[in-house]
Amino acid sequence: MGFQMEAFYRHNRRALTWIIFFGLLWTMHDFFALIFLTFVISFLAAPLVRFAQQRLRLPRRLAIVGVFALFALGLASFVRVVVPQVKHEAEGLLGKMGDMETRLIEVKRNLAKTNPSLDNAIMSVVQGAITEDKDKKTETTSADADKATTVTVDAVHLAMLEKKYADWTTSGTLDTATLSDVLDEEQDERMINKLISQEGGMILEQAPKYLGGIWRGSVTLLFALLFSFLITMDTTRLLQELHNLKHSRLESFYEQTAQPIVQFGLVLGRAMQAQAMIAVCNTVLTMIGLIVLGVPSLAVLSLIVFLCSFIPVLGVFISTTPIVLVALNAHGLSCVVGVIVLVILIHLIEAYLLNPLIYGHHLKLNPVLVLIILFVGHHAFGVWGMLLGVPVAYYLIHDVFGVPLWSGDVAGEEVTK
């Protein structure tokens, strides 16, 4: 019996339908940002339109126009007020890189005196973060009573050490232990200097790319606002047109894909809606805390916190790093401790108050599983994997495979067979 295309399609119709769907979706990957933003804005606008209709007694079209006028006004205010402030503060931060380096070296020296073991651990991390440049290095060796210690320093620091060596020789205070300590200190300071220079150079190198991304993002956001307005305004007719596919030659495709797509859209929409509310709360609380602590560059840091709040669990660690550096440069270690306490308090408020109230019974995934999803998603799909990884995983685990939701009430209990 020969191969029959009709029988093959009949037995594999579902698989072929989804292969075609994902193939079509992949051909539109250049428009993912536009599609995603259009969906998110439309989903966020829907409850506001209903509120205006039910509570303010406005006609539907007038309610839609009012809601999107507020969106446009908010976007224009952001571009007019916030963006220049962020630009000014970002330039100020780049201009203070030298002061930040001096402050870090000062903190490092104090730490080396009070807690040498912690100082060594931190410097190991710093050394691992530095991209080695072997062409600018030379080696100098310091002989101890029992063993020789090889220390790597560059030519500039080597000249400084030779000058110090001559001064100590003249004064008669030079000994092997002192020279070894000075060499170690010089190497640590050189590593801090190189790390600051490396990160600053990376920022300057990537600045045109980021500015271009901001411009493209602004244009995409404007188009998304326009498309979501048109879709919301014409929702009834668009839904009718989609339902008409059921009575066309695409009936099989519609039957296979319509319901799962709607379910996934609801999951994704609820996730983005809840995460947006949590991001606003986090940003407001962080801004109030930074004002109390007197941390500068408020607009830049608040924007970083808001954007990172859309990344579950991991976002709090990403956004804390620049806040700690700015606080260290502005007010020293005491302010850093205050920032860490502030972040812990906000994280506790988010975990035990905001998440249960805002998320409710939706998207309850084990935090360890969330971290795994974020790392795998970032490795496979970059930023999109971090943004959509958790909602997609929730949909697959709960709606597709039917796995029961995780409950935090059983955390820590002994697993029994």
Instruction: Give the contacts of 200 (CB within 8 A, at least 6 positions apart).
Output: 94, 97
User: What is 183-199 written as a DSSP string?
Assistant: HHHHHHHHHHHHHHHHH
Share of the chain above pLDDT 90, in %: 9
Residue 402 is predicted with a pLDDT of: 77
Tens digit of pLDDT for each residue in 367-376?
677 778 878 8
Instruction: Give the contacts of 293 (CB within 8 A, at least 6 positions apart).
Output: 327, 331, 335, 338, 339, 342
What integer best gives the mean pLDDT of the chain? 74
CB–CB of 305/319 below 8 Å?
Answer: yes
Residue 223 is predicted with a pLDDT of: 92
Tens digit of pLDDT for each residue in 21-56?
889 888 988 888 899 899 989 988 988 999 999 998
Share of the chain above pLDDT 70, in %: 60
Phi, psi (rounded to 5 degrees) for 187? -65, -40
Residue 62 is predicted with a pLDDT of: 93
363 conformational bin, left if phi > 0, alpha if psi -120 to 50, beta if neither: left
Cα–Cα distance, 96 to 274 (Å, whole number): 37
Judged by average pLDDT, the poorest of 18-27, 319-328, 338-347, 396-405 is 396-405
Residue 149 is predicted with a pLDDT of: 42
Q: Which residue has the higher pLDDT, 412 or 9?
A: 9
**Is the pLDDT score of 175 beyond 60?**
no
3-class secondary-structure state, position 34: helix
pTM of this prediction? 0.64
Closest CA to 133 of 59, 190, 72: 190
Residue 364 is predicted with a pLDDT of: 66
Residue 204 is predicted with a pLDDT of: 61
CB–CB of 319/309 below 8 Å?
Answer: yes
- pLDDT band of 120, cuts 50, 70, 90: low
DSSP 8-class letter at 55: T
Q: Which residue has the higher pLDDT, 349 or 198?
A: 349
